[in-house]
């Protein structure tokens, strides 16, 4: 080592340890402590300690590498998960978890696993031959070499004494058949060296004789070296020997005839006869050549391949021409037909095990799904018939898995389409998917189904949440049924349960459910049957992961995104263009409008993604908007924008959080009201234009109604590069920003605020903090809080905060003016003078209350008011005072109570009831006290409505209270005069 000391991160790098938690544990385990710290508080360790750790790591890694295997290696050896549980599962030291053991906690003893596999193999003798059996079949001494050349590998079985082999019966039988066919061919067409020597009556055949007489000699395949060809390495083709003998006979005959003629005649005719003999010889030679050889063009017909492919295949198999005559290449027929045999076998294998692209498409498998399958290149040798135009093929087992999964999904979709009783739906799915427990595990089935019934009966949330829960329970049922084929679940040891269920191959959510099930079993029994203290707790693992992986957007990113989504000019046109595309060609539709609405809602609300997707209701459009073409050239008015957003607010009052069924509060900042209204209108127009029956406005047109990559990329195409929008990440950001605002601007507990916003009881989810720079604090605060409060108290509060210190009671709007706006000239206002004076005295007291508090105190109260954190006795009111001092009053008649727009629905409903009561009791003198009560209540509620009308406009108010404001006034005008009953008593 070239340093005296090393920092911890450098030690981790040299040990190839990626995680801080691991290196800390290693240092603790080997009792290694830092010897110094630098100015940045970085700890340093001695070089000697590092060298010792490296030595330990090397020794341990080497030991485990030689003597143990990983889970994946065991699988490759043919071991099942159960086989591995029997192979001494051993926890791997943290320091040795590198290279092949990276991310491996458990390894398995190799020698024990081999014994397990040996026993397993012996149980299936019918599928294998012993080495002796193979020797008897082949009658060859060096059988291992022969099998090795034929690419047949033995199955090695080890025991304590020695190793022994088994051979696949299927592979051996196939090789035997090939051997018989090959031997028959050589037996019919070849002569051994000894046979040829005897035939030619010579002791030795020299290479000169072979070359001179065109004798064709080939090396024999090792596979056929038995019977005639035992201990023979080469053989002559019968055709070349026959040709040689015939030529020899012709020559001898010619010689005899020549001797009988005279010299002159002999001389004259010799040339002619030689030419004839040579010609006959050539004809015979060509005839014999054709018997034993095949030209290149004919090979194409034999193999069924194009000439170009034939050339490539011959090169791949190192088959070269033996003769070239008149530029025609001649190849040995034996090698070509042996290649044809190989082709047939390979074609059959691929036809049996793989499918082409065309076959997959014929099964209605989408191109996108096909692209996810593993692929195998098609060998050139079999690019014929069905594989002629295929570059790659797809494993049938993968296709089968896919089709089974699609079938399963369709069954699940059909059965969960209408869920009335969740457990009954679960039972139908179990039956349809043929999930059944073994007769060896009746108790597991009993307790598991009982547990599922309890869970599903308690399941709440939207339809998608319930469906997801049912499908999860079905999948876990399959898992448990497979594991308990031989025995009950509680008959397994905790070590076996950890290996079988609580491992990286089982989804974490499944593990959490199974862990809870085990706990439920223990609670039902007189004593625990499963020691959960020795089971890996998936809840703890999930908690640690959530803490380590909490990602948020920075305040700068939040502001950039805010500026982007509120760009109405950009997004309105893009969304409308996309809707036009959907009308002309549906597959071009990017769902831009849904994406805009989806992201806008995330900016002010900490809801779950599914709550956005399924709970934004259909809305009525402003009267002037009839179609999308009109809206394209129309600039939405602020009044119409308020109308849309407040209409949405009214419909979302009863919205519940899908996870815990608590109230989901809806917020919209002033700055986002206009873009949100535009997005709502386009989504509503799109739903009408496409004639969709949706009850919700956001529609990403997929089963889970999720924003997929194509839609995401289309919407953020004009934003910064590589940006990824995440629902959970934005929720954390929203809650984190709000928490920091509250922390810096008030004395309240920020955790209470964030829980209120998303209604979580989960500490980990809400415990998210972001440090907002001071220059962004006020701007971000203005984007996060609700501005739906109104009324004289709220307006006066705002004026005081704006520093209008000269405000006096005389500056406040006179109640007489407001009353005239309500009642018109129907009744004499003077008769209400005492009541009006009482109200305006309370307004003067309210102003004194505000003036008695510092600006800091008032700012904090206003912040908490907008956040909904100054609750009152009645829903949808906030109490300025903070603690009720008028216990006998209702909030609707208290000067310290500020109404929210949501309160108008209840007020309007109460007013209809009071109008009816007033009509019924008016003519009866016995009900004077009741007339006073109803008159006071009616007047107070109308006063609240008049403030709402002033702030939000008559159209918006009418939409929210579900009755036209003018109609309401007309109903009041038809009543017998209530003024004589209105008293100065307000409560």
CA dist 956 and 962 (Å) reads 10
374 vs 839: CA distance, rounded Å: 79
Contact predicate 189/238, CB 8 Å = yes
In this model, does residue 833 exceed pLDDT 50?
Answer: no
What is the residue-wise DSSP string for 272-299?
HHHHHHHHHHHHHHHHHHHHHEEEHHHH
3 state SS of 252: helix
**Per-residue pLDDT tens over the stretch 166-182:** 788 888 888 888 888 88
Closest CA to 159 of 106, 108, 120, 211: 120
* Whole-angstrom distance, CA of residue 122 vs CA of residue 114: 12
Specify which residues 175 forms β-bridges with: none
- Whole-number Å distance between alpha carbons of 96 and 78: 25
Rounded to the nearest 10 degrees, the angle between the axes of helix 750-758 and helix 727-745 is 140
Confidence of residue 137 (pLDDT cuts 50, 70, 90): confident
Write the CB contacts of 433 (distance below 8 Å, at least 6 apart in sequence): 408, 411, 474, 478
The whole-number average pLDDT for the span 424-434 is 90
Length of the chain: 987
User: How much is the pLDDT for 118?
Assistant: 75
Looking at residue 637, the DSSP 8-state letter turns out to be P
pLDDT tops 90 at residue 115 = no
pLDDT of residue 840: 55
Is residue 903 within 8 Å of residue 876, measured between CB atoms?
yes
- With beta carbons less than 8 A apart as the criterion, state whether 154 and 118 touch: no
User: From CA 767, how far away is CA 874, in angstroms rounded?
Assistant: 29
Query: What pLDDT does 962 receive?
Result: 66
Residue 766 pLDDT more than 50? Answer: no
> 803-810: long-range contacts at Cβ-Cβ below 8 A with a sequence spacing of 24 or more?
803/855, 807/847, 808/847, 809/840, 809/843, 809/844, 809/847
Cα separation, 764 vs 519, whole angstroms: 23
Give 677-720 pLDDT, tens digit per residue. Answer: 999 999 999 999 887 778 899 999 887 889 999 999 999 999 98
Residue 479 has pLDDT above 50, yes or no: yes
Contact between residue 79 and residue 117 where contact means Cβ atoms under 8 Å apart: yes
- The pLDDT of residue 478: 92
Give the pairing type, strands 354-355 and 392-395: antiparallel
The average pLDDT across 108-134 equals 77
Burial of 560 from C-beta contacts in 10 A (0-12 / 13-18 / 19+): middle
pTM of the model: 0.47
DSSP-derived secondary structure letter, 895: T
pLDDT at 160 over 70: no
Q: What is the mean pLDDT of residues 381-389?
A: 90
> 41: left (phi > 0), else alpha (psi -120 to 50), else beta?
left
Region of 318 on the Ramachandran plot (φ > 0 left; ψ -120 to 50 alpha; else beta): left
3-state secondary structure of 324: strand
Residue 795 binned pLDDT confidence (cut-offs 50, 70, 90): low
Q: What percent of the chain has pLDDT over 90?
A: 19
> Can you tell me the mean pLDDT for 124-131?
72
pLDDT tens digits, one per residue of 841-865: 566 666 767 777 776 777 777 767 7
DSSP labels for 652-706? TTT-B-TTT--B------HHHHHHHHHHHHHHHHHHHHTT---SBS---SSTT--
Q: In 317-382, which ranges are continuous DSSP H helix?
A: 333-353, 357-362, 367-370
Kindly tell me the burial class for residue 631, based on how many C-beta atoms sit within 10 Å of its own C-beta (0-12, 13-18, 19 or more): buried
pLDDT level of residue 577 (50, 70, 90 thresholds): very high
Q: Distance (Å, rounded) from C-alpha 793 to C-alpha 808? A: 14
pLDDT of residue 839: 53
- Output the DSSP codes for 747-789: SS-HHHHHHHHHT---HHHH-------HHHHHHHHHHHS---B
Least confident segment among 638-642, 816-820, 841-845: 816-820
Sequence-distant (≥ 6) Cβ neighbours of residue 219 within 8 angstroms: 233, 234
Tokens 């593993």 sit on residue: 374
Average pLDDT on 603-616 reads: 85
Contacts of 218 (CB under 8 A, 6+ apart): 190, 234, 235, 237, 332, 334
**Is the pLDDT assigned to residue 273 strictly greater than 80?**
no
Per-residue three-class SS string for 832-882: HHHHHHHHHHHHHHHHHHHHCCCHHHHHHHHHHHHHCCCECCCCCEEECCC
More confident residue, 300 or 129: 300
Per-residue model confidence (pLDDT) at position 258: 66
Reading phi first (left if > 0) and then psi (alpha if -120 to 50, else beta), residue 201 is in left
Whether residue 261 has pLDDT greater than 80: no
CA distance 623 to 612: 26
Question: Closest by alpha carbon to 866, among 667, 609, 568?
Answer: 667
Residue 627's pLDDT band (boundaries 50, 70, 90)?
confident
Which residues are CB-contacts of 890 (< 8 A; sequence separation ≥ 6)?
873, 874, 987
| pLDDT on residue 808 | 46
Picking from 913, 907, 917, 893, the residue whose alpha carbon sits closest to that of residue 985 is 893
Residue 38 CB partners (closer than 8 Å, separation 6+):
44
> 517-554 burial by CB neighbour count: b if 16+ within 10 A, else e?
bbebbeeeeeeebbeeeebbebeeeeeeeeeeebebbe
For residues 431 and 165, the model is more confident at 431
Q: What is the pLDDT of residues 27-61, one digit of tens each?
A: 988 889 988 888 777 888 888 888 888 999 898 99
Given a cut of 60, whether residue 834 has pLDDT beyond it is: no
Tokens of 371: 């692209």
The pLDDT value recorded for residue 811 is: 42
Residue 367, both tokens: 């191109």
Q: Bigger pLDDT: 225 or 767? A: 225
Please report the pLDDT score of residue 565 as a whole number: 94
Q: Give the whole-angstrom CA distance, residue 982 versus residue 943.
A: 13
pLDDT band with cut points at 50, 70 and 90 for residue 813: very low
Q: Which residues pair with 190 in a beta bridge?
A: 237
The stretch 347-355 carries a mean pLDDT of 92
Q: Are 184 and 229 in contact (CB under 8 A)?
A: no
Per DSSP, the residues of 75-144 read HHTT--HHHHHTS--EEPPGGG--GGGTT--EEEEHHHHHHHHHHHHHTTGGGEEEHHHHHHHH--S-HH
The sign one gets for the Cα dihedral 830, 835, 837, 840 is negative
The pLDDT mean for the chain works out to 79
pLDDT at 76: 86
Q: Where residue 826 falls among pLDDT bands split at 50, 70, 90?
A: very low
Shortest CA distance to 458 belongs to which of 444, 473, 480? 473
- Using one digit for the tens of pLDDT, what is the confidence trace for 939-965? 777 777 777 777 777 766 776 666 777
């Amino acid at each position: 080592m070239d340093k005296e000391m090393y920092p911890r991160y450098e030690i981790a790098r040299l040990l190839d340890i990626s995680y801080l938690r691991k290196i800390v544990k290693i240092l603790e385990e080997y009792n290694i402590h830092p010897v110094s710290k630098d100015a940045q508080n970085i700890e340093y360790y001695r070089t000697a300690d590092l060298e010792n750790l490296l030595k330990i790591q090397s020794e341990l890694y080497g030991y485990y590498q030689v003597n143990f295997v990983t889970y994946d290696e065991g699988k490759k050896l043919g071991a099942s998960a159960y086989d591995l549980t029997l192979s001494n599962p051993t926890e791997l030291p943290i320091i040795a978890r590198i290279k092949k053991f990276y991310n491996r906690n458990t390894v398995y003893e190799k020698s024990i696993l081999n014994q397990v596999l040996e026993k397993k193999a012996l149980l299936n003798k019918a599928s294998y031959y012993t080495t002796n059996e193979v020797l008897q079949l082949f009658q060859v001494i060096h059988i291992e070499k022969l099998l090795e050349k034929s690419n047949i590998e033995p199955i090695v079985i080890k025991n304590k004494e020695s190793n022994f082999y088994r051979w696949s019966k299927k592979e051996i039988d196939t090789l035997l058949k090939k051997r018989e066919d090959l031997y028959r061919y050589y037996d019919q067409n070849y002569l051994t060296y000894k046979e040829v020597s005897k035939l030619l009556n010579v002791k030795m055949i020299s290479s000169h004789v072979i070359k001179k007489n065109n004798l064709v000699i080939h090396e024999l395949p090792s596979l056929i070296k038995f019977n005639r060809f035992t201990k023979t390495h080469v053989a002559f083709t019968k055709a070349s020997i026959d040709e040689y003998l015939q030529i020899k006979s012709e020559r001898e005959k010619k010689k005899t005839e020549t001797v009988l003629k005279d010299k002159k005649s002999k001389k004259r005719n010799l040339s002619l006869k030689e030419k004839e003999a040579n010609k006959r010889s050539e004809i015979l030679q060509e005839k014999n050549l054709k018997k034993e050889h095949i030209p290149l063009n004919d090979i194409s017909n034999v193999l069924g391949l194009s000439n170009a492919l034939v050339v490539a295949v011959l090169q791949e198999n190192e088959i070269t021409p033996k003769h070239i005559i008149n530029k025609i290449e001649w190849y040995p027929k034996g090698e070509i037909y042996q290649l044809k045999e190989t082709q047939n076998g390979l074609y059959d294998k691929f036809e049996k095990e793989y499918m082409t692209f065309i076959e997959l498409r014929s099964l209605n498998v989408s191109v996108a799904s096909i692209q996810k399958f593993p692929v195998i290149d098609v060998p050139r040798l079999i690019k014929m018939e069905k594989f002629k135009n295929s570059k790659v093929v797809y494993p049938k087992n993968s296709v089968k898995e896919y089709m089974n999964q699609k079938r399963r999904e369709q069954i699940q979709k059909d059965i969960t389409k209408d869920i009335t009783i969740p457990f009954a739906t679960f039972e139908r799915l179990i039956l349809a998917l043929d999930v059944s427990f073994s007769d060896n595990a009746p108790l597991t089935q009993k307790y598991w189904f009982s547990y599922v019934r309890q869970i599903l009966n308690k399941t709440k949330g939207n339809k998608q949440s319930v469906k997801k829960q049912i499908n999860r329970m079905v999948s876990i049922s399959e898992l448990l049924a497979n594991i308990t084929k031989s025995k009950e679940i509680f008959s397994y040891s905790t070590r076996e349960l950890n290996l079988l269920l609580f491992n990286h191959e089982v989804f974490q959510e499944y593990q959490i459910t199974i862990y809870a099930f085990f706990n439920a079993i223990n609670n039902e029994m007189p004593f625990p049957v499963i020691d959960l203290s020795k089971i890996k707790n998936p809840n703890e693992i999930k908690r640690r992961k959530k803490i380590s992986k909490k990602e948020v957007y920075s305040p700068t990113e939040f502001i950039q995104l805010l500026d982007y989504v509120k760009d109405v000019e950009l997004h309105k046109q893009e969304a409308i263009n996309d809707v036009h595309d959907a009308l002309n060609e549906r597959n071009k539709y990017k769902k831009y409008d849904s994406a805009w609405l989806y992201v806008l809602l995330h900016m002010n609300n900490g809801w779950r993604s599914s709550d956005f997707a399924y709970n934004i209701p259909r809305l009525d459009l402003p009267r002037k908007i009839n179609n999308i073409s009109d809206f394209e050239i129309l600039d939405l008015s602020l009044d119409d924008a308020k109308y849309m957003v407040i209409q949405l607010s009214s419909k979302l009052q009863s919205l519940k959080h899908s996870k815990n069924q608590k109230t989901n509060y809806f917020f919209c900042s002033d700055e986002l009201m206009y873009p949100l209204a535009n997005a709502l209108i386009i989504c509503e127009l799109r739903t009408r234009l496409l004639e969709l029956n949706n009850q919700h406005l956001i529609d990403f047109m997929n089963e889970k109604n999720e924003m997929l990559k194509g839609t995401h990329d289309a919407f953020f195409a004009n934003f910064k590069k590589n940006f990824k929008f995440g629902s959970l990440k934005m929720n954390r950001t929203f809650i984190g920003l709000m928490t920091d605002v509250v922390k810096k601007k008030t004395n309240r507990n920020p955790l209470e605020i964030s829980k209120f916003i998303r209604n979580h009881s989960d500490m980990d989810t809400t415990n998210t903090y972001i440090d907002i720079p001071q220059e962004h604090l006020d701007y971000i605060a203005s984007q996060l809080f609700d501005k739906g409060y109104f009324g004289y108290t709220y307006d006066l509060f705002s004026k005081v905060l704006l520093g209008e210190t000269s405000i006096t009671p005389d500056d406040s709007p006179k109640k007489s003016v407001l009353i005239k706006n309500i009642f018109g000239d129907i009744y004499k206002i003077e008769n209400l003078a005492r009541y009006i004076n009482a109200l305006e005295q309370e307004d003067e007291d309210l102003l004194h209350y505000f003036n008695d508090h510092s600006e800091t105190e008032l700012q904090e109260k206003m912040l908490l008011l907008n956040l909904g954190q100054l609750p009152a006795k009645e829903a949808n009111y906030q109490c300025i005072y903070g603690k009720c001092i008028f216990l006998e009053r209702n909030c609707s008649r208290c000067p310290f109570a500020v109404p929210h727009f949501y309160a108008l629905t209840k007020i309007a409903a109460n007013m209809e009831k009071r109008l009816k009561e007033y009509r019924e009791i008016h003519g009866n003198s016995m009900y004077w006290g009741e007339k006073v009560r109803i008159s006071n209540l009616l007047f107070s509620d109308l006063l609240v409505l008049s403030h709402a009308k002033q702030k939000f406009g008559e159209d918006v108010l009418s939409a929210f209270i579900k009755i036209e404001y003018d109609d309401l006034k007309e109903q009041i005008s038809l009543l017998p005069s209530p003024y004589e009953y209105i008293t100065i008593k307000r409560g």
